[in-house]
Chain A
Amino acid sequence: MNAPEQVRKLRIATTSLSGCFGCHMSLLDIDERLIELAHLVEFDRSPITDIKHCGHCDVALIEGGVCNAENVHVLRELRANSKVLVALGACAINGGLPAQRNNLDVRRCLTQVYRAEGSGEVQVPNDPELPLLLEKVYPINEIVRVDYFVPGCPPSGDTIWKFLTDLLTGRTPRIEHPMLKFD
């Protein structure tokens, strides 16, 4: 008898753009199923591995909206390198909490936040390493093509598990009541 064929592990990249890492916490919230997941996938670029740039991936999970120039570069890199790109959570889908600034003037925001008490002197940080803010916070599907959307703030561990197992085992992912939540 032949030994069972080694199944290639799928490569997953994850990132948090303009998010709070809540969706990543929710991913970790699948608890002991992480071990099962580790049999199916290996992680590329991700806060979990601390790899800074991704190679060719099967799946990219994107948390957070797009609020600055770096977010745009990261998102495009992940799109270019992944077969399936997933918007994970409310911010990736509609901008979420960070998008609450979309009706405020960015210059005014910065000059108010970085105004020194007393002297009133304004010193907006301008280190060249700091990415520039965009004038609005965008949902990721307004920047790149998105294959799947997983709503929730954050989506629960069970929802993420349902989605990932559907996707990784070749079923059409479906999120419905009671897992479909926007809050």
Chain B
Amino acid sequence: MSDTKDTFTIDGQIIEFDHGQTVLQAALNAGVYIPHLCHHPELKPNGSCKLCTVTVNGRNGSACTQQALPGLEVENNTPAINDRRRVLLQMLFVEGNHFCPGCEKSGNCQLQALAYDLEMLTPHFRHSFPDRAVDASHPDIWLDRNRCVMCELCVRASRDLDGKSVFMLAGRGPASQVVVDSPSGLLKDSALTLDDKAAHVCPVGAILPKRTAFKVPIGDRQFDDAVISNQTDYLATRRIDTNPTTTDESLAEKV
């Protein structure tokens, strides 16, 4: 038996991997960026956003669900694949109500960072301007469905990490939405608390801790300095921070 590590290639570059890793995990660990939105290193793969679509041995597949196998030939950073990813992003933008100038997640938002990185200048398609409910009932957490991209990170974090199953996707097609497990359907009557991972995992501005908005000045936000494709170390190792340093104690005391 040989003691060399198993490898596959991404755009011709040799990538080493450990048994059981996905193509996306192995790529990020090797410093190779594959765009993704519904993947988080702490959670099991979901394969719902399709932004990590790559070509594996000539067939399209999600890098986050494709198991890394010896000898795979993966195409990732090609104009054709990036064009399709940009179209997926545009559809995500017109499907919800994504108004960056008024969103406190701006600069830390993964959807926005992906759009910057793929140079999406316009959402292109006809906006649907859906009518979606905001749930501000919880004392510590916002739920703004206008910005939701249905990645199910909150669903998985609540179920698999917090053991609470507070969130679920319900409805079909354009009527899909995040629903809350509580008698009233409101967040305030659910089991969700501020120290839950589900309260902090949202990649966009749909679930946000209250009283933390705009604490990080423009210029210091996650994706201000470096584009997301240059942050593979962060993407590979990030953990859900249930106690963000952006919480201002002095303000909390005043309130």
Contact, CB under 8 Å: A90 / B101: yes
A99–B127 Cα distance when bound, in Å, is 11
Complex CA gap A60/B137 in Å reads: 46
Contact B102 A97 (CB under 8 A): yes
B residues 202-255 touching A (CB-CB < 8 Å): 218, 224-225, 227
Q: Looking at the assembled complex, report how far the CB atom of A154 sits from the nearest CB atom of chain B, in whole angstroms.
A: 9
Any B CB within 8 A of the CB of A64: no
Question: Hey, which chain A residues are within 8 Å of B103, CB to CB?
Answer: 183
Of chain A, the residue at the smallest CB distance from B100 is A182
- Asked whether A93 is an interface residue with its Cβ less than 8 Å from the other chain, the reply is yes
- Contact residues of B between 118 and 167, Cβ < 8 Å to A: 119, 121-124, 126-127, 129-131
User: Contact check: which of B119, B129, B218 meets A99 at CB < 8 Å?
Assistant: B129
| Known interface pairs A149-B121, A175-B121, A176-B119; A183-B101 also in contact (CB < 8 Å) | yes
Inter-subunit contact A93/B122 (CB<8 Å): yes
Which chain A residue shows the least CB distance to B129? A102
A-B contact pairs, 23 of them (CB 8 A): A90-B100, A90-B101, A94-B93, A94-B98, A94-B122, A95-B129, A96-B101, A97-B99, A97-B101, A100-B99, A100-B102, A102-B129, A103-B130, A139-B123, A142-B126, A149-B121, A151-B121, A153-B100, A177-B116, A178-B224, A180-B116, A182-B106, A183-B218
The listed residue with most B CB atoms (<10 A of its CB), out of A90, A94, A175, A181, is A94
* Nearest Cβ on chain B to A53's Cβ, whole angstroms: 27
Q: How far is the CA of A177 from the CA of B112 in the complex (A)?
A: 12
B115 at the interface (CB under 8 A from A): yes
Contact A149 B106 (CB under 8 A): no
Residues of B within 8 A of A (CB): 93, 98-103, 106-107, 112, 115-117, 119, 121-124, 126-127, 129-131, 218, 224-225, 227
Contacts of B98 in A (CB 8 A): 94
A11 at the interface (CB under 8 A from B): no
Most buried by B among A95, A99, A181: A181
Task: Please determine whether B119 and A93 come into contact, CB atoms closer than 8 angstroms.
Answer: no
Q: Which of B106, B123, B225 contacts A183 (CB 8 A)?
A: B106
How distant is B63 from chain A, measured CB to nearest CB, in Å? 23
* A103/B131 contact (C-beta < 8 A), A90-B101, A183-B100 known: yes
Q: Which chain A residue has the least Cβ–Cβ distance from B131?
A: A103
Instruction: Encode A120-135 as 1/0 by CB contact (under 8 A) with B.
Output: 0000000000000000
| A141 is an interface residue with CB less than 8 A from chain B | yes
Assess whether B129 is in contact with A136, with CB atoms less than 8 Å apart.
Answer: yes
Decide if A94 touches B116 in the complex (CB within 8 Å).
no
Contacts A175-B119, A180-B119; A99 near B124 (Cβ below 8 A): no
Cβ of B99 and Cβ of A94 under 8 Å apart? yes
